[in-house]
Amino acid sequence: EWILHNDQFIQEEDLKISMEDRGYQFGDGIYEVIRVYEGNLFTAEEHIDRFYESAEKIKIVIPYTKDVFHKLMYDLVEKNEIDNGIVYVQMTRGCAPRVHQFPADCPPVIVANTKSMERPVEAMRSGVQTKFVEDVRWLRCDIKSLNLLGNVLAKQEAYEEGLFEAILHRGETVTEGSSSNMYGIKNGVLYTHPATNLILNGITRRVILELCKEQGIEVQETAFTKSEALEMDEFFMSSTTSEVMPIIAIDGHKIGSGVPGELTKKLQKAFEEKLK
């Protein structure tokens, strides 16, 4: 298994990360997960743009052009002969004696690896169950930060109950999933939280909103409440790894008739067409 360390390809066992890496000590860094279908990076430019935007938001300068960065991702996939899978890439502010403020002369540390992964076809066919979990994260969820403790704790709470995802809410307002975006459909209109500081604007989310336009599905980027969520005709989530994933129950309460909805299935199909 090759991994990327800054601009070098090395074997994973040869990677040395300092105890004083700020990612390790502060979660002071950012990441991306990019999907690979049939050896091709899906929506790579969008992911790379978001990576550069996240870096800028936390004031880290990436020492490569986007083209060079793209090539590094591509070469890693090729070296590891990944057919279907993901690239995980992260960048921390670098290594320095531990102080909270940014250290001087601290080059960032980039690492990336790949993993083979098939599409979750079974779950996408049957739909998944979820629960509400209070969103206790910080107020810059638009940054794809390595600080994922709020997300980890929420996902674990769902996982312990045998559920696929936690639906986060701030007070009564549904924001997003622990590692996904959330959508409800009512009377043919698709509702999803607007792309504010309270959610990560998913790349899959952007593809889906585009597909809605193409399919003539009306979209309202308007937040909805927990009780409105339970009254939706259809519900689904999206992410790089889960694509368009139907949600058939929240807190044991069936959504619609408790099976994947028609518009959700239409979007799944349209999404699949994009992969060809």
* Binding footprint of ligand PDD on the chain (CB under 6 A): 33, 151, 176, 179-181, 200, 202-205, 238-241
Q: Are 3 and 208 in contact (CB under 8 A)?
A: no
d(C-alpha 268, C-alpha 256), whole Å: 18
Q: Given the complex with ligand PDD, which of 87 and 95 has the nearer CB atom?
A: 87
Instruction: Find residue 88's DSSP bridge partners.
Output: 33, 113
Q: Given the complex with ligand PDD, which of 91 and 200 has the nearer CB atom?
A: 200
Dihedral sign of CA atoms 268, 269, 274, 276 in order:
positive
Catalytic residue among 59, 71, 144, 265: 144
- Distance of closest approach, residue 194 Cβ to ligand PDD, in angstroms: 14
DSSP reduced 3-state for 102: coil
Q: Which residues contact 129 (CB under 8 A, 6 or more apart)?
A: 162, 163, 164, 247, 248, 249, 250, 252
144 catalytic per annotation: yes
Q: Given the complex with ligand PDD, which of 93 and 193 has the nearer CB atom?
A: 193
- Distance of closest approach, residue 259 Cβ to ligand PDD, in angstroms: 24
Q: Given the complex with ligand PDD, which of 148 and 189 has the nearer CB atom?
A: 148
- Distance of closest approach, residue 137 Cβ to ligand PDD, in angstroms: 8
**Would you put residue 184 in left (φ > 0), alpha (ψ -120 to 50) or beta?**
beta
- Distance of closest approach, residue 205 Cβ to ligand PDD, in angstroms: 6
- Catalytic residue IDs: 144
